[in-house]
Structure 1
């Protein structure tokens, strides 16, 4: 299995240190081992995704184990499914992807991590050589039709039709989304009225929901950890400067997590 060219959608072949398609489009592997498959015309900004500062904070937060129970839940699901080809969409700096690689059987790992952030992928590839990482759009997956046994999405967007295209019949998509009470205490610092996360289930045409699990636990965070957590959330841009300073001064910020993990199975093509 190989990547598809993001420009002409032909298969890419690895020749020395570059991926090349029959049309002559070439994508060089970086020294860290990843490949950038995000052409400039597919970018929404010059440097999409998280910054280096955000990525370092995210790595420190995850390395401290604050979200390990979520990784454990997904790892258990993957161990039971035993996929031969797995893609982690929106993989960030690779914390979850590396955990998935540990539970997939076999010495040869067909495991990919994809993110729009080149900074994140550089961090991931440098630390986790057992995974193949690429910079690419989640809305234009650089993989062939019916080529993946499993796709994992943790808070990551992706077009439903793209998932239906790349996942094999009988394959699975595992999606982790916020539960109703996820980070209620953090949101309470930012919003005057705290709304529960919606429990509405997204539509995935071509897939059948086969399993749902909900998990959550309390966290007690030091100041820098609380700041890192805020940086990881989509409501960080709503936080006033005094909120950032308040979190930074915390010595034991109490906050709860709430996650919903759903498993979808790709229906057999008629």
Structure 2
């Protein structure tokens, strides 16, 4: 029997499809492979890399995701976490759930705790995100994967989380079972406004705007529920730098130029939309660039706040 961090990924081989040729995958001793001979070794660190030769993504490094992890652990996003978990209350206890663009993995871990008999997968294109997420073990399966080419077979997933990150709705529609749920979280206008105000003229775009994402979902999907969550928290001195480092908003900011002592509070402001596709495979993503979504500031899938 393989070690737990490897075995849990072998156990989901039947859910996977090859990201290179689309064929079904099967489990081997410490890897998953397809009939065409494409073979992907499961890392001893507890994750499966399905984009083995990609170049590092600028800005989305281990420092970025470790900062995110600490901020999540310290409760600044607590109310968003609670609302996302509550949105999955109606799922069967044995559901298959993916966190698409999982970043440091905190939302996927929440689902695994709430639904201990479920199968939870965290997917992110950033290998450093998955490295950070996989630390400490646990039941979640962690995949380095592209949301524009989700390495799962058709109609295998009961619910998808897509939290502050780009979406590919065509792929979401493909992998969701009929009636499956998408939980989409987007930044609302007050999100991180204190940090944006602190950065001032260093930001080329200091506003969070969803660019019609919520309206887009309303037109193309059956929106089951829609809620706004706002949480303002006092900033502990040791967290101020992490708050800067964990936000793509701050990629263009010179840290030394910020008066971090003046960052006394931070607001997390989000809209949570639960929706179902109303038809199969002819998806609303055709109005978007595959793998991209307009509320984000980049063209690929790592986390964006």
TM-score of the aligned structures, taking structure 2 as reference length: 0.79
Provide the residue aligned with 2:164 in structure 1.
155
Which whole-Å deviations, capped at 9, do the CAs of 1:120-172 have from their partners, x for residues lacking one?
21222232421111101111110111111100011111211111111111001
- Aligned equivalents of 2:90, 2:144: Cα separation in 1: 29
Task: Give the Cα–Cα distance (whole angstroms) in 2 for the partners of residues 178 and 23 of structure 1.
Answer: 42
The aligned length equals 262
Contact 2:17-2:24 at 8 Å conserved across structures: yes
Alignment match, 1:228? 242
Moved more, 119-128 or 199-208: 199-208
Distance 1:49 1:241 in 2: 14
**Residue 67 (structure 2) aligns with:** 57
Match of 1:209 among 212, 223, 227: 223
1:262 and 2:273 correspond: yes
Which SS does the other structure have where 1:169 is aligned? strand
Classify 1:30/1:179 alpha carbon distance in 2 versus 1 (closer, same or farther; 3 Å): same
Spell out the pairing of 1:124-135 with structure 2 (5 A cutoff).
124-135=133-144
Residues 168-247 of structure 1 mapped to structure 2, 5 A cutoff: 168-192=177-201, 195=207, 197-198=209-210, 200=212, 201=214, 203-204=216-217, 207-244=221-258, 246-247=259-260
Deviation, 1:232, is 2.1
The answer to whether the 8 Å contact 1:49/1:116 transfers is: no
Offset, 1:202: 5.3
Match of 1:66 in 2: 76
Q: Tell whether the 8 Å contact from 1:180 to 1:199 is kept in structure 2 after alignment.
A: no
* Structure 2 residues without counterparts, runs of 5 or longer: 1-13, 282-305
CA distance in 1, matches of 2:278, 2:237: 46
- Offset at residue 2 of structure 1 (A): 2.2
Equivalence for 2:147: 138
Question: How big is the alpha-carbon RMSD for the aligned residues of Structure 1 and Structure 2?
Answer: 2.3
Q: Residue 251 of structure 2: SS of its match in structure 1?
A: helix
Deviations 1:1-55 (A, max 9, x none): 4211111111111111010100011000000221100143xx4x43567212222
The answer to whether residue 39 in structure 2 is matched with residue 26 in structure 1 is: yes
The 3 A distance-change label for structure 1 pair 195 and 58 is closer
How high is the TM-score relative to the length of structure 1? Answer: 0.88
Q: How much does 1:269 deviate?
A: 4.3
Does 1 or 2 have the higher relative contact order (CA < 8 Å, sep 6+)?
A: 2
Q: What is the SS of the residue equivalent to 1:72?
A: helix
Task: Give, in whole Å, the separation in 1 of the partners of 2:108 and 2:80.
Answer: 12
**Displacement of 1:222:** 2.3
CA distance in 1 between counterparts of 2:59 and 2:194 reads 26
**Offset, 1:224:** 3.5
- In structure 1, runs of 5+ residues without a counterpart are none
Asked whether the 8 Å contact 1:34–1:134 carries over to 2, the reply is yes
* Rounded Cα–Cα distance in structure 2 between residues aligned with 1:197 and 1:79: 29
Residues of 1 paired with 2:215 and 2:32: CA distance? 35
The alpha-carbon distance between structure 1 residues 197 and 29, as it changes in their structure 2 partners (threshold 3 A), is same
Take 1:65 and 1:263, find their aligned partners in 2: how far apart are those partners? 23
Q: CA deviation at 1:194?
A: 5.2
Contact persistence 1:172–1:263 (CA under 8 A):
yes
